[in-house]
Structure 1
Amino acid sequence: MIDSDPESTIEDEDRELRYQDINELVQSRLSQNQRIRRNLPGDGRLRIDRQLPFLCVYRTPPDRSDPGTVELVTTEAAYLFASGDEADLVGVTDLCQKINSIIQEHFGTFLLIEIWSEPRNTRGLTFEIVSPDVETIPSTIDTLHTALSEIKIRHERANVVTRTTDVVTPPGLPPLNAVAPESNRSGFCVLGLSVSPIYRDPQSGAVFPMILHSIRHQLAAAIRKTVAQFTGTENDPSTDSDEEALENGDSYHSLGPSSLVKAARLVDQQLGEVSESFDFLLQVTPTNTEEARQEFYDSGCKKTPRFIYRPLPYRPSILKRRLFDIEIERIEDPTLAHILWEKQEEIDRKLSALRDLDTPEFLYNSLQLYGSVQPDLLHLSREILNRVSDSETLSEDDEPRRVLSGDFIERARDEFDYYHLKMNEFNATVEECDEIAAGIMVSHGRLLVSKNLNIPAERVEPLLHHEIGTHLLTYFNGRCQPFRQLYAGLAGYEELQEGLAVLSEYLVGGLTTNRVGTLAGRVVAVDSLTKGNSFAQTFEMLHHEFGFSQQRSFTITLRVYRGGGLTKDVIYLRGLVSLLKYLSAGHDIEPLYVGKIGLHHVPYVQELRRRKIIVAPRILPRFWDDDKIRERLDACRNMSVLTLLETN
């Protein structure tokens, strides 16, 4: 008789005790609907966000390497991954059964989805749904089949097949329900999902992170749709308004994780710190605007003026080092990871632009950030300018009443008081600044007003709604969210911000012909810049071809040529066009005030709201409670920019 290995016996006993402890923890916490995050023997992990009617499981094959596959389950709010070794079978099975029994007490049913990769390689993405009895849950399997079929990788849809078998388990592994008590099987269903591992190199096993991320993100939605159908809580968000779906809370998205885990909070904080360590627009705004204007006029409007910028108080390369030390890859949630990867890339581009400030290379960074002028936008801009291009319309010299900086600051403070009463956290400040052009800008929670401000009285109210009721309001709404990027600004947020801000001017009756003409003038100026025309040539075009006053022609040209060529000014008109299209599709405007987001972020934001990670906007613009303005907003759903121009 051969004696057993004492070290192995000790390890087995230790493993058994650890599983017993975890089972007791599950009994205690899950019964009270509390979160569970625990490491398992054999480098495993259990995460249960709350009481949920499903569990995604992955077991590491003991006979082969399987890189990347475990990440297919860690997207979910209830997952378990563990070793596939025989020594762990009883512990993992008992743990699954404990979770099953507790969840069935709450939901009456429980779906276990085990995921594994095919040992063989295939050319495209293939899923195989494995079920013990298709007829038991036909609609659930149909839902999973349909959802998986919609997954696209590299422009190709996934191939999906279904197989029926007596035992659902990965190849070479015993089934998890082998020792399941029969008394607990009435509401218990198990599905297997085999995935072709196109997310890694078949020879080296190296993971392709971009492909894996895309599969994870789409697979997560497919699993949640399936669980929602299985439990009878499925909801097609397209049949409800945005707000009805959010209030119902029964969208499949609500089955996702409902909290920011430590890794996500840390990355969010680190990205926010880098983002807030510099002010891009302030850095690219000349500090000698009036001197440059006079220099240009003295040259007979022929010589490009010399602009002076604030010295950078940091090295962009040092900030980039901090930026790329941030470990976004640690975040399991693909939605949050996607948003944060986007932001990291945008910050990188802005730092590159600041490194190249006042050089020809700055323009190429700007094009990456804000894009160029597309033909349809240029056509619209020229059409607008043709309608309003007489010099009398495009000149503000004859305005009967002007407002200077001091009076505007007082009005701004009154506006601050209104919003502060609505939300105590609205703590904006206003500063008179002698280092910006004769205008107004928002920097984080500050409103900066040029000491040379001199605007028509009719522009005061629209500007208050533009700068305070949009830019500052979304900043402080974002400050009230647990997700820091919502006030720092998601990647590409400026276009929607400016679209909302310009629309607010229209809603309060302040989108004048002059204003729309200015937005169109900025677009044709950017187009002129990207075609290689000089500062003087663009000024000449605005002044003589389109009839802008000399002062406004200079201001528009300065905005576009600053830094070496800033194409940002296309986003005002482009943002308004995109917003009107969004409204015409029947979408609600309220979710857009949740923070500083782009239109392309709306599906992600709505998903995060359904998952309770972020909340509804704390406050809405001052005009929100005005019935006449709400009617005006509803009418915008059937309007184009040209229609706005005619009806304002």
Structure 2
Amino acid sequence: MKIDSVATKALLDIDKNIDTLVKQVEMLSYVNPLNIEEEKSRFFSSKYLTDPVFKYPEINFDRFKLHRALFTQSLELIEDEEVKNLYEDIIYAYSGLIQCIQTIGTGKKFYYNCLRCFGTPTENDVENAKFILHFEDENKDIPAFQAKYNATEAEVFFKDFSKKYDFSYSITHSDKISAIAMVLNNIKTLVLNTNHTYSDNEIAVLTNHEIGVHMVTTMNGLLHPLKIFSHGFPNNEETQEGLAVFSEYMSNNLTITRLKELAYRVIAVDSLAKGYSFSRTFRLLHNQYDLEREEAFYITVRAHRGGGFTKDYLYLTGLKKVYDYYHEGKDLSLLLTGKVSLEYTNEIKSLIEKGLAVPSKHITDSYTENKNTNKKVDFILRSLK
């Protein structure tokens, strides 16, 4: 496909239009409650009986106009059938995300919209989670697991780790996020949670996860003629989180404790499907599974925020898919080209061949050599169904 052909110009125009529209659709900017800590105190004071009432950021776009503008794109001008089908999938996926965002805080409405976008754990996924929970955690008394660094001190480690890469980004701090760190793709920013004290193990995990993958795919995504690599393919969350946890594995930082955290997330999301309230999911994790109340609370927040955010089970399914993909000898760099999905590897290759995409410039540091020495972790990942 010549880059100066009429059909290609039409494609680039459509791609640019979609990019302009979906820049505002950053789910994590809207779904993280603003009053987590206040509601945690209230919840603990109620002896885990009164469900938190979360407040969310205001939505700063016109949802109806955004939907309408997405669906008025002239996809019939894209002559290449494969590319046209990809853009159809993208428009439907973003329409689903807009519906999710516009129903944050409405309970069941938001939950049903999330089901359409992210799905829910299958019986297999729940069995995999329960299988992982049979294993003993590492010894938490060893120095690597001791909480040591506040967000400002932790920032130094992220900056030092980032010297491995030829890009720059911003770091900010927040007390309004449910994760202990996260990357905001649309503004190339790492956010560290000021309510958290980080251990050496967490720093090792997060640098490889957030910078080694999420920031790498953010930066690679910006290098293509097509902006869909930057704003994201359909179902990219599963692949991106799978790649990020796989980076923890390859750098020898994936522990049984971390795998169990991902398993508890599956259990928490499965409880949504069973109709559990916030307090009931919390009590399941805290009483039945013996999770410390702080950890049980934050895992419950992640699953119940917005009214039922099902995305969290995808970390484990994504990890298994990427682990298998790697052990089949397939090319990981294809999955680092941007916010892409495993299901679209053929389309990515095709777009590179047509000059509409470029191979990954930045490669996850841990992917150059498998340093994992934890045989138990390998056994678990091989055994997952």
SS across alignment from 1:617:
coil
Contact kept in structure 1, 2:250 and 2:367, CA below 8 Å? no
Q: Give the % identical residues.
A: 29
Q: 1:435: Cα distance to partner? A: 2.1
User: Match of 1:368, as an amino acid?
Assistant: R
Shift of 1:439: 1.1
Residue 557 (structure 1) aligned with residue 304 (structure 2) = no
**In structure 2, distance between residues paired with 1:453 and 1:533:** 27
- Taking a change above 3 Å as real, the CA distance of residues 395 and 273 of structure 1, as seen in their structure-2 partners, is farther
TM-score by length of 2: 0.91
> Equivalents in 1 of 2:154, 2:128: separation in Å?
32
Give the root-mean-square deviation of aligned CA atoms.
2.7
> Counterpart amino acid of 1:407?
E
**How far off is 1:35 after superposition?**
8.3
Q: TM-score, normalised by structure 1?
A: 0.55
Choose from 142, 145, 158 the match for 1:412.
Answer: 158
Are 1:394 and 1:548, in contact at CA under 8 Å, matched by a contact in 2? no
Matched with 1:433 is 174
User: Residues 480, 431 of structure 1: CA spacing in aligned structure 2 closer, same or farther, 3 A cutoff?
Assistant: same
| TM-aligned CA deviation for residue 632 of structure 1 | 4.8
- Report the Cα distance in structure 1 between the residues aligned to 2:361 and 2:75, rounded to whole angstroms: 28
Deviation of 1:386 (Å): 2.1
Other-structure match for 1:386: 134
Contact 2:144 2:199 in 1 (8 A): no
Bigger helix share: 2
> Within the alignment, does 1:353 sit opposite 2:96 as a pair?
no
One-letter amino acid of the counterpart of residue 118, structure 2:
Y
Q: 1:398 to 1:591 in 2, by over 3 A?
A: closer
Q: Does the residue aligned with 2:134 lie in a helix, a strand or coil?
A: helix
Q: Give the Cα separation in 2 of the matches to 1:525 and 1:363.
A: 13
Q: 1:328 to 1:641 in 2, by over 3 A?
A: farther
- Secondary structure (helix, strand or coil) at the match of 2:135 reads helix
Pair 1:492 & 2:259 matched: no
Q: Distance in 2 between matches of 1:436 and 1:494?
A: 18
Contact 1:462 1:505 in 2 (8 A): yes
Larger RCO (CA under 8 A, 6+ residues apart): 2
- Structure 2: segments with no counterpart, 5+ residues: none
**Is the partner of 1:432 in helix, strand or coil?**
strand
Q: Give the deviation of 1:330 after TM superposition.
A: 1.6
Aligned length: 380
Relative to structure 1, the CA distance from residue 624 to residue 533 in structure 2 (aligned partners, 3 Å threshold; closer, same or farther) is: closer
* AA matched with 2:117: L
Change in 2 beyond 3 A, CA 1:567/1:588: same
1:537 aligns with 2:259: no
Please, which of 477, 482, 491 is the counterpart of residue 225 of structure 2?
482
Whole-angstrom CA distance in 2 between matches of 1:631 and 1:430: 28
State the shift of 1:477 in Å: 0.6
Structure 1: runs of 5 or more not aligned: 1-33, 38-46, 48-259, 421-425
CA distance in 2, matches of 1:374, 1:623: 31
- In 2, distance between residues paired with 1:512 and 1:533? 29
Match of 2:336 in 1: 593
Q: 2:50: which partner in 1?
A: 303
The question of whether the paired residues in 2 share the 8 Å contact of 1:441 and 1:467 is answered with yes
- The answer to which structure has the higher strand fraction is 1
The change in CA–CA distance for 1:543 and 1:341 in structure 2 (over 3 A counts) is same
Shift in CA distance, 369/504, structure 1 to aligned 2, threshold 3 Å: same
1:318 correspondence with 2:65: yes
Change (3 A) 1:399 1:469: closer
Q: Which has the larger radius of gyration?
A: 1
Q: What is the distance in 2 between the residues matched to 1:396 and 1:341?
A: 51
TM-superposed deviation, 1:329: 2.2
Determine whether 1:546 maps to 2:289: yes
Instruction: For 1:401 and 1:462, locate their aligned partners in 2 and report how far apart those are by CA, in whole Å.
Output: 14
- Whether the 8 Å CA contact 2:149–2:198 is kept in 1: the answer is yes
1:287 aligned partner, one-letter code: L
1:505–1:511 contact (8 Å) kept in structure 2: yes
The DSSP-based 3-state class of the residue aligned with 1:454 is coil
Give the drift of 1:317: 1.2
Query: What is the DSSP-based 3-state SS (H/G/I as helix, E as strand, rest coil) of the residue aligned with 1:431?
Result: strand
SS in structure 1 opposite 2:172? strand
Correspondence 1:291 to 2:38: yes
2:366 corresponds in structure 1 to: 623
Kindly indicate whether residue 12 of structure 2 is the aligned counterpart of residue 269 of structure 1: no
Deviation at 1:478, TM superposition (A): 1.0
Counterpart of 2:213 in structure 1: which amino acid?
A: T
> How much has 1:278 moved relative to structure 2?
3.0
